[in-house]
Structure 1
Amino acid sequence: MIELKQYINGQWTDSSNPQKLDIMNPATQEVIARAPKATKAETEEAIKIAKRTFESGVWSDQSPQERAAVLLQIADKLQENIHELRDLEVQNNGKTKREAQSDAEEAVHTFRYYAGLLNAPNGQVFEASQDMQTLIVKEPIGVAGLIVPWNFPLLMSVWKIAPALAAGNSILLKSAEITPMTAVKVFELIDQTDLPKGVANLLMGSGSVVGQTIAESDDVDVVSFTGSTEVGRQIMQAATTNMKKVSLELGGKSPNIIFDDADLETAVDYSLFGIFMGSGQVCSSGSRILVQESIYEEFVEKYVEKAKGIRVGPGNDEQSQMGAIVSEKHFESILDYIQIGIEEGATLSLGGHRIEKDGLERGFFIEPTVFTHVTSDMRIVREEIFGPVVTIQKFTNEEEAVKIANDTVFGLAGAVFSTDQNKALRVIKKVRAGITWVNAYHLTNIQAPWGGYKQSGIGRSLGTYGLDEYQETKQININLDPKPIYWFE
């Protein structure tokens, strides 16, 4: 049994809380580790350490080139251990090897990207007047509280750690409560680099204790949270104690619009990928497919037939194409939503059940599930299910497609499939979402900003925008001809 520990001020420590959390492999329900549950006092102490470290300047005063060198060290360590990171993610989260390998590779790339960004030109210089020179500079914001979700525990940790460190901040990461394994490994690797002790700290525990304490603390200058909209609201409210900067990447119920002139094979293929990748446990999943009525029945037939062929199984099986649901609690929530859909009168065209054969009865496996002939007022259409459940809805024309697509409190992602590029661009510009595609789904790169409209969040991750989230912008005005101004004479 692996006994996980917290990483504070460069030391691996246990919590004073005698309670431990069993960490489970969702494909087998086997307990693979035990994690500490940090107390409020321990969280407050870790925040103080991060603040002292920041104010000491041991990291924040280093040059961009020096910080970049350390980020590249971390990237190299991740690369050297990429297969272990992949396998830990499979074991703890339940995702397939292919998905976990992709996440691990992007984690390496993210550190290298931000190391390179530090060596790019930054800031502005301009003449305010003949005798005044103005500099616009970026400075680290201070202590960054980073709270990550369970669906991408490795990648979401890195998406926050890399830019926060690049900017010169000290950080306190709260790993996902039920999937802390890869975060612990990342900090083991960070410990082997030249990053000064106390700059990067890791706590495990509940959101109601550790997360809430981070959000409320006057000594935390920015909090970055990825998770549900409900918890995001709580984080935002708690952050008002010192008006700290807040970055929130929250839920989604993203539309995927298929016009009758789309390449049907491409549309079906990407629409499957859009929802069943990650077992649907992806905030940007294309969980609402909108299909023009003239091809609706044909699309549904092809889509259901292809979805039947998805091989569901444990992530460490090379043949598996869709893995387990992350926990029993979330597994039961998805099954409840499927029952709600049936009771609401939607047509269950595929799936809808727990898989209890071929040895999968030991894990949390759900069949790819497709609801058709749905209406916009149904809960399965309006609420985030966060699982392998998709709804397929009809529309008649562009105007109705846009109306249905935007009829949601969320605005994270969306896609349009059409061979008419003018129409596709016209429609995608009207979709109220922050991450969009034309004739594709889920394909992104870390140079582009990630975030949503409406109740899908505030702020952006990745790219130069992601670095901005962890920086303050300062103007410095220099008088080139200092002499009395005689304002009051």
Structure 2
Amino acid sequence: MAELVRFHNTVGGRESDSSTGRWLASMNPFTGEPWAEVPHCGVDDADAAVDAAHGAFVKGPWADMTATARGKLLRRLGDLIARDADKLAAIEVSDNGKLLAEMAGQLRYIPEWFHYFGGLADKIEGGVIPTDKPEMFTYTKREPLGVVVAITPWNSPLLLLTWKLAPALAAGNTIVIKPSEFTSCSTLALMALFKEAGFPEGVVNTVTGFGGEIGNALVSHPKVAKVAFTGGDATGAAVYQSAAKHIKHVTLELGGKSPNIIFADANIDDAVKGAISGIFAASGQTCIAGSRLLVQRSVYEEVSQRVVAFAKTARLGDPMEKTTQVGPITTLPQRDKVLGYIDVARGEGARCLLGGKRPEAPELAKGWFVEPTIFGDVSNEMRIAREEVFGPVLSIIPFEDEQHAIEIANDSIYGLASGVWTSSIRRAITMADKIRAGTVWVNTYRAVSFLAPFGGYKKSGVGRESGQHAIDEYLQTKCVWINLAEGVPDPFVLR
């Protein structure tokens, strides 16, 4: 076996490994073999990372830096990421098994967040308040929170990290990053670019390892002001509970069971492509996966047949190859979980129209693959329609009319995203108004932008990422009162 590549944490501007000398193997989902190692950190390492971030926040160059200077650093970082996009994308593919085309596209787009929030850094303004007390001069300031812990998932590590980093740094906070133990390598590789960009020591720090060992230590740490988490709703609830116990700010981007709704008047060719994009383009490993395909009864059979025919053409293979369209599942436990949900669906009476097993091709045998799988005859009461599978598994559900579609779409504990396919502008606006989700796409799917807010309703999360709204999640408001009167009135009476 080839020697494993070693990646190191960054704490206080210096390379850092676990205080116990332990290492974690990072597995390549396509080969099923280890390819790299990252430090296996414990509570002492988490404490050191938080201390470094807190020190950088309260003293030193970062604390004294102007907002304009911060913005310049962010824009410089964006330029460096653009320069190294292909290298970072290759690391992500080795770590999480998603398509090189997908990861390279994300890495080339990530600089836009740093450019955007770099420009927004010195546009953070307070205001003068014309109060009812004429002897007072009153104004507000917007100030950073302090140390932010960013906990990121394994499916799109750098993109989802960027959604937290860019606004948090623009607002003047310092960061401790806890990446997924399955996909830490690209985050650790990114740290060299912060140093090259000129960020002061301790502003951005990393600590790698298992959430059960270091996650709670980070979330409950008295020097941490905010936790920004992306991941499953069960873990998110635990993070929320711990943060609430210690009175911390939170942003939670959690699960989804997004409805992708096709009406009879839609352009069926486009809608079928949208259905495929919504669930198979990232092997279903995205919180916004359109895993519930709602199809109007009059076109249900036609759409079902065409979606199955299109999905049959999907090419499984090495995610590094340009011709591959569906890669492996990122982790072995997740692969087994997806196969388990397929068994559950069959047991509940759903009809398997395609896939439903591991591929038989010998060249895919070592990888953690699941065939693109489609179930018909699904009711919204089935587990396959209610629980997040996080894999290439699509449930097709018939509906009668707009009201029925809205009822099915909203009958979920989640509310992250949704899609509507129709040629009627009236219907598009009506559905967008009635669907309880943070994002509604009309005649498209999986579109995101640094300019547009993203987040969920219900158990899909708290807060918003991207767009101008995002920076508010990392700021607090201070109100300043200056007495202009010469005398002090009765001290026992509220002014």
Q: Shared topology, TM-score over 0.5? A: yes
Aligned partners of 2:357, 2:434: CA distance in 1, in Å?
Answer: 36
- Contact map agreement 2:255 2:460 (CA 8 A) in 1: yes
Aligned partners of 1:61, 1:356: CA distance in 2, in Å?
Answer: 60
Aligned partners of 1:480, 1:305: CA distance in 2, in Å?
Answer: 76
Aligned partners of 2:168, 2:123: CA distance in 1, in Å?
Answer: 17
Matched residues, number = 489
Letter in 2 for 1:281: Q
Aligned partners of 1:359, 1:220: CA distance in 2, in Å?
Answer: 47
Deviation at 1:480, TM superposition (A): 4.2
2:401 aligned with 1:397: yes
Q: Secondary structure at the match of 2:196?
A: coil
Deviation at 1:100, TM superposition (A): 0.6
Q: Secondary structure at the match of 1:134?
A: strand
Deviation at 1:120, TM superposition (A): 2.9
Aligned partners of 2:124, 2:244: CA distance in 1, in Å?
Answer: 34
TM-score, with structure 2 as normaliser = 0.96
Residue of structure 1 in register with 2:244 after alignment: 240
User: Could you give the per-residue CA deviations for residues 124-180 of structure 1, whole angstroms, max 9, x where no partner exists?
Assistant: 333224444432221010010110000011111111111111111111000111101
Residue of structure 1 in register with 2:208 after alignment: 204
Deviation at 1:257, TM superposition (A): 1.1
Aligned partners of 1:131, 1:356: CA distance in 2, in Å?
Answer: 80
Corresponding residue to 1:81 among 63, 68, 84: 84
- Contact map agreement 2:350 2:378 (CA 8 A) in 1: yes
Residue of structure 1 in register with 2:253 after alignment: 249
Corresponding residue to 2:108 among 105, 110, 120: 105
Alpha-carbon RMSD across the aligned residues, in angstroms, is 1.5
Q: Which residues in structure 2 correspond to 1:175-214 (within 5 Å)?
A: 175-214=179-218
Residue of structure 2 in register with 1:146 after alignment: 150
Query: Which segment is superposed worse, 173-182 or 349-358?
Result: 349-358
Residue of structure 2 in register with 1:282 after alignment: 286
Change in Cα spacing, 1:18 to 1:402, as seen in structure 2 (3 Å) is: same
Deviation at 1:342, TM superposition (A): 0.9
Give the unaligned 5+ runs of structure 1.
none
User: Could you give the per-residue CA deviations for residues 385-417 of structure 1, whole angstroms, max 9, x where no partner exists?
Assistant: 000001000111111111111111011111111
Corresponding residue to 1:69 among 72, 78, 100: 72
Residue of structure 2 in register with 1:365 after alignment: 369
Deviation at 1:425, TM superposition (A): 1.0
Q: Secondary structure at the match of 2:38?
A: strand
Aligned partners of 2:358, 2:486: CA distance in 1, in Å?
Answer: 77
Aligned partners of 1:221, 1:458: CA distance in 2, in Å?
Answer: 16
Letter in 2 for 1:285: A
Residue of structure 1 in register with 2:117 after alignment: 114
Residue of structure 1 in register with 2:24 after alignment: 21
Aligned partners of 2:210, 2:64: CA distance in 1, in Å?
Answer: 33
Letter in 1 for 2:460: S
- Contact map agreement 1:61 1:168 (CA 8 A) in 2: no
TM-score, with structure 1 as normaliser = 0.97
Paired-residue identity, %: 39
Residue of structure 1 in register with 2:38 after alignment: 35
Aligned partners of 2:479, 2:324: CA distance in 1, in Å?
Answer: 54
Q: Which residues in structure 2 correspond to 1:244-323 (within 5 Å)?
A: 244-323=248-327
- Contact map agreement 1:415 1:428 (CA 8 A) in 2: no
Deviation at 1:363, TM superposition (A): 0.6
Deviation at 1:266, TM superposition (A): 1.0
User: Could you give the per-residue CA deviations for residues 435-459 of structure 1, whole angstroms, max 9, x where no partner exists?
Assistant: 1111111112111111101101111
Aligned partners of 1:148, 1:84: CA distance in 2, in Å?
Answer: 20
Corresponding residue to 1:5 among 5, 8, 15: 8
